[in-house]
A and B are shown apart, each in its own frame.
Chain A
């Protein structure tokens, strides 16, 4: 394997986002393809991070730095991947539902998904069902992720699912939900495809859904 790819893996593992732009450009200058950088540089680094996180040797702040390093590189290679029609992980649309201003969990999911190679469109917090519907139509994501922290706001998830059904786009996406009060039972009850208990399992689930 080329030395520069191994360097890129290391930058991901170390969360060294400052050097990532230079090294990604250097790899391209060396004639490496975007797909090769993704599959043999970035992904092995992120896979290592995933294993170390699960083993309890790395923690969320470090994982987020790694995800940011990955993102720096993805910003450069994504257009090239699109040009080459290379297979990427897919697109994730995220939002905290209407009435809820808590977004730290949702932001973590976004960063973890970016770390897993997804393109992430984040609608922010307090997102109306109609806004979700419009965004699904516009961005055509593979996966829609909704978050709520409050027992008072989790019902907005159900309303959003209904709005998607009414707009006829429910079946174009896999829907996953999360947030402290959300449970598998609730996910089953409102007819979504998955419930993830934390950001790491959300990005795992996104991979399964997209794969």
Chain B
């Protein structure tokens, strides 16, 4: 029994002080109250007006009590479930829990056989889903691409159906608009056993993006309203570029991004109080030479840490970003940028860290980068788990038992703890030079490729219910018809 004894569970990381966070928080409220946003959605404007917002044409300003009210309604902790009931694949969102997964909608993909960069195909989705399903440190699924070889409006729908088949881990689903959002939801509801069952155990998160600076676009709000009505956990994440579509300073971009996300929060909580809401967005610099959003910049990690702390201060989970790179190939830059950003993301406890496996500044998805980052996340997680201090781990009695000139290898204390205290690498090599030479002088890259191949060869599918498969066929057929009608 101890008195006034304080324990740190895991590594403590904190960048901003309480005072600084309060400044940021009030900055966001100020932007929402005095600047406002363009809300390009009639129903959303009506909902907001009804709840007390000032509406002037498209421009909507929110009195701060409305935002605080929405923040109070949104849960800080909730669970997104594995579709097959496997508790190991559930995601418990809450303080101190960082999760990782890939990102959506890259145009290109690194072919898993040839390792060449080419447009993303429907047949790539199962590869990504299987790798996600198998990697121990990847917690949720996105597909790392937008499918090139199906009717354009249906690429998100086809992608979802394929992901749903090949992983039981929770999915983060993007979509174009109302039609495909609804079709995706029908599939998930069928597998869950009805809308009510889905609401109790949601298996996917709905993803939408407002536009920077300060615009809630029609399509993003069509999707937000849909998710709110169906009570689907929601990510509302802008993608501002510091110096381009947002202030150049980290504090400034954080405030703007938060205002953009909280407009969505306020709409959603007024439609569906208590809707699980994950705050965005992706914050980085606009590279002032290439004009791209830099996915490997140190400022990305820094800004993401800042907005994560603001989200947690306000009582929301955050859509983190990491494991991504600006490199065009699977090289030292890719691993350095990816590893540092996942480590930093893990330190912040940012709730869902996405874009793991992005290369070429989000233009090209790679399961090789994803698999390499699984190793980096494992490494990072061992560090953030920290050091446990108790009578048993202090091991004073063990030290006494072994004494000077003994060894600990045979001690039961060592046997009991080494598997949980030591991180076991999958890809990092610690063999002797001779063994390494004998094994064929494999590089980290070689071992990563081999691991991907092994995963794909050994993967075992947990099938969907037969009725879900039937529904998928039906939904896709109807969707193909719908596309034809749209074209006519």
Interface residues of A, Cβ cutoff 8 Å to B: 53, 56, 59-61, 101-102, 104-105, 108, 151-152, 155, 180-181, 183, 185, 198-199
Contacts and interface: CB of A to CB of B under 8 A. Distances in A.
Given A151-B146, A152-B219, A105 B363 contact: no
Given A61-B243, A101-B217, A104-B244, A53 B211 contact: no
Given A61-B243, A104-B244, A151-B146, A181 B107 contact: yes
A60 B291 contact: yes
Interface in B120-178: 146, 152, 155, 176
B37 to A, nearest CB: 13
A76 B114 CA distance: 57
B245 interface: yes
Contacts of B289: 53, 56, 59-60
Contacts of B286: 60
B176 A61 contact: no
A60 B243 CA distance: 10
B290 A101 contact: no
Given A61-B243, A180-B292, 5 more contacts: A59-B288, A151-B105, A155-B152, A183-B119, A198-B290
B215 interface: yes
A105 B119 contact: no
Given A151-B107, A155-B152, A198 B291 contact: yes
Contact of B176 (A108, A152, A198): A152
Contacts of B215: 101
B119 A185 contact: yes
9 contacts: A60-B286, A101-B211, A101-B215, A101-B217, A104-B245, A108-B291, A151-B155, A152-B176, A155-B152
A59 B248 CA distance: 14
Residue from B243, B291, B362 having most chain A Cβ neighbours under 10 A: B291
B152 A183 contact: no
B377 to A, nearest CB: 27
B107 A183 contact: yes
Contact of B363 (A53, A152, A180): A180
Nearest to A149: B211
A185 B244 CA distance: 27
Nearest to A57: B289
Nearest to A155: B152
A1 B15 CA distance: 57
A191 B217 CA distance: 30
Interface in B258-298: 286, 288-292
Nearest to B248: A61
